[in-house]
Amino acid sequence: MTTTTRFIEVENLHKSYLLPESGRINVLNGVTFSLEAGSTLAITGHSGSGKSTLLTLLAGLDSADHGRIVINNAVLTDMDARSLHRFRTTHLGIVFQQFHLLPHLTAGENICLPLELQGRSCSPDIRHSLLARVGLTARSEHLPGQLSGGECQRVAIARALAVKPLLLLADEPTGNLDLTTGRDVADLLFTLVQQEQMTLIVVTHNQELAARCSRQLHLTHGVLQ
């Protein structure tokens, strides 16, 4: 009999925000799901449905009002800020829609940043290897302002891979790209996820991208369906 490993468990997750103009807004209302190691999951939903908020909680960048998040047997919702930071920087890779590259650092320097923040060495060989994996060996010394949108997202993906994460979180990774470039970036993303045997959660409104995942969940008014 074959058993499966629940790599991620989210139980009864709630999140709300207090807005000055409109009072308290409930964004997530009892979100519950589990995911096996090595799976790919797309979370879809309209703007304002809570997709990015859910990803932010999974990344340990914000705290839930109520509920439980377990990733690889680590209970994120029980961790203090320092423990969350340590877990995030050693086990998670995050790709944002807006790239979030530091404009004064070259592509190679941006890629190495996660390792350097951990006090780890980022040798020229490591930098070259990461650039090669995303097809940007000729762009190592280019600043983000000298790169196209697709190239910037490739740098962001390489940066996320630098720590060899167990889980890759992607928030609208093709949202700022044209159709052809977006498909190229999606091809790269799924190829790397398969090669590295990572678990992937991608938040997207792009149905074509969502369909490439092994599982899809739809978020409506803070509830997964």
Q: Please report, for the domain that includes residue 119, its CATH number.
A: 3.40.50.300
Please check whether residue 54 lies inside any domain of the structure. yes
Please check whether residue 160 lies inside any domain of the structure. yes
Please check whether residue 148 lies inside any domain of the structure. yes
State the total domains in the chain.
1
Per mean pLDDT, which range of 21-25, 67-71, 72-76, 112-116 is the poorest?
A: 21-25
Cα-based distances in Å from 32 to 3, 45, 76: 21, 16, 15
Separation CA 220–CA 21 (nearest Å): 23
Bridge partners of 219, per DSSP, are 224
Please check whether residue 70 lies inside any domain of the structure. no
Please check whether residue 11 lies inside any domain of the structure. no
Bridge partners of 29, per DSSP, are 14
What's this model's pTM, rounded to 2 decimal places?
0.89
Taking the alpha carbons at both ends of the chain, their separation in whole angstroms is 29
Query: Taking residues 49-63, what's their average pLDDT?
Result: 91
Say if CB 41 and CB 8 are below 8 A apart: no
Helix (H) or strand (E) holding 35: strand 23-36
Query: Taking residues 50-54, what's their average pLDDT?
Result: 90
Domain that holds residue 55: 39-62+80-224
Please check whether residue 26 lies inside any domain of the structure. no
Helix (H) or strand (E) holding 110: helix 107-117
pLDDT tens readout for residues 20-30: 877 888 899 99
Please check whether residue 84 lies inside any domain of the structure. yes
